[in-house]
Amino acid sequence: MATAATYLLLFSLVLLLTSPLVAASSSTPVAAVEQPEELLQRFKASLKDPSDALSTWSPSTPYCNWSHVTCTGGGAVGLSLQGLGLSGDIAAEPLCRVPGLAALSLASNTFNQTIPLQLSRCTSLVSLNLSSAAFWGPLPEQLAMLPSLTSLDLSGNDIEGQVPPGLAALRGLEVLDLGGNRLSGVLHPALFGNLTGLHFLDLSKNQFLESELPPELGEMGGLRWLFLQGSGFTGAIPETLLQLEQLEVLDLSMNSLTGALPPAFGHKFRKLLSLDLSQNDFSGPFPKEIDKCVMLQRFQVQGNGFTGELPAGLWSLPDLRMIRAENNRFSGRLPELSTEASRLEQVQVDNNSFSGEIPHSIGLVRTMYRFSASLNQLNGSLPDSLCDSPAMSIINVSLNSLSGAIPEFRRCKRLVSLSLSGNALTGPIPASLGGLPVLTYIDVSSNSLTGGIPAELQNLKLALLNVSNNQLTGRVPPSLVSGALPAVFLEGNPGLCGPGLPNDCDAPLRKHQGLALAATVASFVTGVMLLALGAFAVCRRLHGVSSSPSPWMLVLFYPIKLTGDELLAALRDKNVIGRGALGSVYLIELQDGQNIAVKRLISSGKPTFRALKNEMKLLAKIRHKNIAKMLGFCYSEGEVCIIYEYLQMGSLQDLICAPKFTVGWNDRLRIALGIAQGLVYIHHDYTPRLLHRDLKSSNVLLGDDFEPKVTGFAIDRAVGEKAYLASLASDLNYRCYIAPELNCTKKPTHLMDVYSFGVILLELITGKPAEQPASDDSVDIVRWVRRRINVTDGAAQILDPAISRTAQQGMQAALELALRCTSVMPDRRPAMDEVVWSLQLLYSPQTPPSTGVALEP
């Protein structure tokens, strides 16, 4: 990019050149005397500005003093009107007569119109940014009449049709971003052949483009960022691409590219930081020249048909953080790494044909965070050092031919997930696993493990323990199976005994209860879902309504003691704990003292039973310590009740609204972190990916030690999108949790959940409920906080005074995070995994800072 100085120069030049033009073109005498203030007033008058963001634009002050207007010494004027909630008409005619107008941003607004052709009269424009502003229709060729343009950003709109070849006339263009639109057709070679000054080219996410990669790409010698992912490109990579010596980021992922890579691929990419060729149809071996990319940090080639070895030189690149090569046909051995020099954080090579042993050095690389190599032909034993990296969180080497014993895992205190299933491992399950504080997922099924299940595992907060199909013996530690809703899978170990198992260690079976418990266990055994077991009751129609026989069907995914009759009898007003537009929530105590919450959805479209069952199954399969279990559902011709687990301590909202909310800062952080982790799981790690869409503090349940569980998620799947949106529109109660863009976009995104999370974080920071943070003013918490941020010393008024001053620094940091999450502009919000990293740093400041790579499933 040009430096500030060159821009200045450019701006002044532009001014010199264009002022006479402006004067000449405005030939009517009246217009000739119009001041910039008047022109801008007329421009403003055509806009809709509901939040009054342009209130400082008053004729009595010089326009250079107005907000969102910048004037540089050289006489260049910039208008930065992004993210102000603007809509209405864009009066380009007066606007383009403002002398020296060099930069115009209307990004992140909701104009809902075509790109005004008249903008082509703003001949002094150097930079035009219309991204994410709800523009639709064709890309006007007239924009090519802006002779000084160096940066054109039209990304994230609904622009359709061809990219006009005439744009090639913009010889000075350095940045061209057309990503995320609905452009179609074939790209004209002139676009690439003539725009030789480009540094940044983004044509990604235009799924209707039909093009090969044109050889002319190679003529854009200055290109540093090239984003062509997800745009329907076909054919092979042209040899000329290899000439782009300045490339830093090359993303060709998610296209239909084919063929082998040119053998010299990489030999001139000395500056390449990130290479993404994933999800294409490339084949053949991967060129060895990749070792010339000495600055490479991210290497992603997963989901192709590459064969042969991964070049040895790749593994020793000094800055490499990530290797993703899963779902290919690579073979050969995984090399040892230089444990001193390697900065690898993530190695994913699952589903290939790698053979030989797991390198001993994997766990010795101190930054290693994730190692997954499942579904290969790795043999030999697990290295003793596999878990020595202090950052190691995920290990998956299932479905290989590994043998020998499971080593003691003591050092990887951040290990979350360990999958060793489907190998030939022998010996006992090491008791030391019980000492890894965040281990939540253990799958050692289908091996030849012997001995007992270590009692130490009871220390863990497990989301899944699968030991099935081994030769384990002895008594199952009681608390592993006693919880009402365990996630422990024991089948295929005839030597195990304990209450509820076919083989009770001491007492003979008590007939009745024994059966129930056996059924319970059998249900775990059959896998996640109990459906087949027939935990399936037909209940009567709701009390007193009508006599027409309309059967209610109850489907339970977990063994809870509840019959259909009991459920219907309990759906009474006295059990209601919450009401919303979609229906009421009932709290029901079961015979065994366990509590469940039942969400009864009214006027919920008319899903068929079968469709609903499939959706519900999907939700019931979610296993995460921070996601409340969906226990079952009840159905009758379009009316649906969903049954969730409920925790004794109630919801976060209850806690915040209690007369005294005195929970300490570290516990509040713990709540926030848990919620965030649950969301990361459903957003990124669960298949299919889900959105919560109704996150609010009343949907956060609290367990012991303030461990939160998120509930009420993905209701849209039960009721259908239409009914769901209608309910959101009619429910005035929880509006403050809803991201503002919901009004203008139809497609829900994970960033809307991030917004809702930000609102909860603000509740935790301020100690005030989101709906009405103060008794005197009726604004919601986001506005309440924003108002106070502006006044000097505002933060002191925001942070909950009930919390000791020593926590202030952390609270301040959390506040900044919450403000980012609740940013009006979705693209300013962090993704949930980034939120987790940030919160983890606050929660345990003594742990080393994260290595920066987000968890990417």
Ligand X SMILES: *[C@@H]1O[C@H](CO)[C@@H](O)[C@H](O)[C@H]1NC(C)=O
| Interacting residue ranges for ligand X, rule: CB under 6 A | 61-62, 65, 82, 105, 107-108, 112, 129, 131, 151, 153, 165-166, 168-169, 175, 177, 190, 194, 305, 327-329, 350-351, 355-356, 374-375, 379-380, 396, 398-399, 417, 419, 421, 441, 445-446, 466, 468-469, 489, 527-528, 740, 743-744, 786-787, 790
CA 584 vs CA 1, 574, 578, 581, 784: distances in Å:
56, 12, 6, 8, 29
DSSP state of 236: P
Burial of 407 by CB count in 10 Å (0-12 exposed, 13-18 middle, 19+ buried)?
middle
String of DSSP letters for 34-90: --HHHHHHHHHHHEE-TT-TTTT--TTS-GGGSTTEEE-TTS-EEEE-TTS--EE--
- In the complex, least distance from residue 611 CB atom to ligand X, rounded to whole angstroms: 24
Given the complex with ligand X, which of 43 and 441 has the nearer CB atom?
A: 441
| CA geometry: angle 343, 349, 351, nearest 5 deg | 170
Which residues, other chains included, contact 274 with Cβ-Cβ below 8 Å and sequence gap of 6+? 248, 249, 250, 251, 296, 297, 298, 300
Given the complex with ligand X, which of 424 and 576 has the nearer CB atom?
A: 424
State the Cα–Cα distance between residues 457 and 476, nearest whole angstrom: 11
| Catalytic sites, residue numbers | 694
Given the complex with ligand X, which of 765 and 782 has the nearer CB atom?
A: 782
Element (H, E) at 512: helix 511-525
Given the complex with ligand X, which of 297 and 327 has the nearer CB atom?
A: 327
String of DSSP letters for 737-804: GS-GGGGT-SS--HHHHHHHHHHHHHHHHH-S-SS-SSSS----HHHHHHHHHHSTTHHHHHS-TTS-
State the Cα–Cα distance between residues 349 and 378, nearest whole angstrom: 11
CA 729 vs CA 581, 732, 779: distances in Å:
9, 7, 18
Give the type of residue at 295.
M
Given the complex with ligand X, which of 541 and 623 has the nearer CB atom?
A: 623
Give the type of residue at 377.
Q
Given the complex with ligand X, which of 329 and 510 has the nearer CB atom?
A: 329
Cis peptide upstream of residue 688 (ω within 30 degrees of 0): yes
- In the complex, least distance from residue 692 CB atom to ligand X, rounded to whole angstroms: 19
- In the complex, least distance from residue 751 CB atom to ligand X, rounded to whole angstroms: 14
Helix and strand numbers (H, E) in the chain are 19, 48
- In the complex, least distance from residue 57 CB atom to ligand X, rounded to whole angstroms: 13
- In the complex, least distance from residue 141 CB atom to ligand X, rounded to whole angstroms: 10
Give me the helix-helix angle, 750-766 and 832-843, nearest 10°.
30
Largest pairwise CA distance in the chain: 106
Which residues, other chains included, contact 724 with Cβ-Cβ below 8 Å and sequence gap of 6+? 582, 693, 715, 716
Closest CA to 451 of 420, 406, 417, 412: 406
State the Cα–Cα distance between residues 545 and 226, nearest whole angstrom: 64
- In the complex, least distance from residue 375 CB atom to ligand X, rounded to whole angstroms: 5
- In the complex, least distance from residue 626 CB atom to ligand X, rounded to whole angstroms: 16
Given the complex with ligand X, which of 88 and 650 has the nearer CB atom?
A: 88
- In the complex, least distance from residue 338 CB atom to ligand X, rounded to whole angstroms: 24
Given the complex with ligand X, which of 64 and 658 has the nearer CB atom?
A: 64
- In the complex, least distance from residue 236 CB atom to ligand X, rounded to whole angstroms: 19
